[in-house]
Amino acid sequence: MDETKERAETLMSWEENVRKVTPYVPGEQPRIANIIKLNTNENPYPPAPGVRKALEILAGNTDVLRKYPSPTCDQLEESLGKYYGIPRENLFVGVGSDDVLSMAFLTFFHGNKPVLFPDITYSFYDVWADVYRIPYKQIPLDENFEIHEEDYEIENGGIVIANPNAPTGVAKDRDWIDAFLSKHKDVVVIVDEAYVDFGAESALPLIDKYDNLLVVQTFSKSRSLAGLRIGMAFGSAKLIHYLKDVKFSVNSYTMNQPSLMLATESIADEEYFRANLEKVIATRESTKLKLKSLGFRFADSKANFIFATHPNKPAEEIMQALRAEGIIVRHFKKPRIDNYLRISIGTDEEMQRLVDVLAKIL
């Protein structure tokens, strides 16, 4: 008997008090050697060299681990504040942007009106809404995966937009976000910018204009630090204050000492960061041309992945055939997007191997 069936058949009375939820399913982290891993949008290049040096220093001084880390993430917040040119009162740091977004849902969406987000977007939003019992409504994107802003002009308790969107890669410019925000001043609007560094425009300059705007970013993709778990949010002092009140009511010491130290090193090396981004962007653009000539169709991505479909072969079959050749890409078994593959941008060599294998299996 499968586990779900067993649970349903023997419901004990204490189980009526359980907070039941269907969890988010993250992309696979296979423990197979020599695969080409293009399924979870990790950066193919290592983090800044200073991160390694800081790790070595830490290894020689493990005594720092004896003490609790700074609950207010002093060093990291200071370096982020300097880097982005904003005061600390406008800054929030969390355990990856998933933690930041989860805290933001818990803090800002506490009413009876539905929170709005696109039907095709980061598939964690509806899970957080479910777990925190937040009503929500998914607004359909059009057939080109574009947002129609007028669809959001309905009663709502908040809005979440990923920009560039995931898993489509479609980006809106800052003027569009500005015009959108000007119509939604009465609810908190979250702009999830997990991929913004790969060539989209950040809404960060708009936090002074709109005190209800929360911009969320991460070290996971553009800074090659998915394993460290660092994310951050920018917003008005009032917004950040509310967010910190909730965060400090759940867990004071979310950020561990090594990640605070290493993230600071990543911020310090701007040159490495820019060079890394340029490489990924150049590979993305050359991969677009190659996929196009193989017959793939996709929206123009500003992220470190391409969301592609092929007219002649079902996505799931392509995914299986790639897997048999040691290349892992992401397929979502969901309405409207089940004939698409989300292909992360790896190194030039990895993408050439992908293209060669695709040419063979199509």
Ligand X SMILES: *Cc1c(COP(=O)(O)O)cnc(C)c1O
Q: Contact letters (x/-) for ligand X, 161-190, by CB under 6 A? A: -x---x------------------------
Measure the CA–CA gap between 88 and 302, rounded to whole angstroms.
29
Between the two ends of the chain, the Cα-to-Cα distance in Å is: 39
Among 42, 77, 126, 192, binds ligand X (CB under 6 A): 192
- 273-279 long-range contacts (CB < 8 A, ≥24 apart) are 273/48, 273/222, 273/223, 276/43, 276/45, 276/222, 276/224, 277/197, 277/198, 277/222, 279/45
Which H/E stretch holds residue 191?
A: strand 189-192
For 219, phi and psi rounded to 5 degrees?
-90, -5
Please identify, among the stretches 73-81, 94-102, 111-119, 205-213, the one whose residues bind ligand X according to the rule CB under 6 A.
Answer: 94-102
Cα 217 from Cα 207, distance rounded (Å):
14
Q: Which stretch binds ligand X (CB under 6 A): 25-33, 65-73, 81-89, 95-103?
A: 95-103
Query: How far, in Å, CA of 70 to CA of 240, rounded?
Result: 18
**Which residue stretch of 12-20, 96-104, 199-207, 321-329 sits at the interface with ligand X (rule: CB under 6 A)?**
96-104
Tell me which of 39, 43, 97, 301 binds ligand X, using CB under 6 A: 97
Q: Are strands 231-234 and 297-298 parallel, antiparallel or unpaired?
A: unpaired
Site for ligand X in 223-242 (CB under 6 A): 226, 231
Indicate which single residue of 73, 160, 189, 194 sits in contact with ligand X (rule: CB under 6 A).
194
**Residue number with the shortest CB distance to ligand X?**
96
Q: Is 93 in the site for ligand X (CB under 6 A)?
A: no
Q: What is the DSSP letter of 66?
A: G
CA 356, 291, 119: angle at the middle one, nearest 5? 130
Q: Which two tokens stand for residue 317?
A: 């079959």
Binding test (CB under 6 A) with ligand X, winner from 92, 108, 122, 210: 122
Measure the CA angle with vertex 77, ends 74 and 81; round to 5°: 135
Question: In the complex with ligand X, which residue's Cβ is closer, 256 or 352?
Answer: 256
CA distance 314 to 275: 36
Q: Do 124 and 194 meet the contact criterion of CB atoms below 8 Å apart?
A: no
Question: Using CB under 6 A, which of the segments 20-28, 93-101, 279-287, 307-315 binds ligand X?
Answer: 93-101
Residue 125 or 180: which CB sits closer to ligand X? 125
User: What's the min distance (Å) between Cβ of 218 and ligand X?
Assistant: 3
Question: Between residues 191 and 207, which has the closer beta carbon with respect to ligand X?
Answer: 191
**How far apart, in whole angstroms, are the C-alpha atoms of residue 226 and residue 212?**
28
**With respect to ligand X, which residue has the nearer C-beta, 231 or 235?**
231
Contacts with ligand X, 137-166, as mask; x by CB under 6 A:
-------------------------x---x
Region from 10-18, 91-99, 111-119, 244-252 binding ligand X, contact rule CB under 6 A: 91-99
Q: Least CB distance from residue 213 to ligand X, whole Å?
A: 17
Least distance CB 120 / ligand X (angstroms): 12
The residues of the shown chain that bind ligand X, judged by CB under 6 A, are 96-98, 122, 162, 166, 192, 194, 218, 220, 226, 231
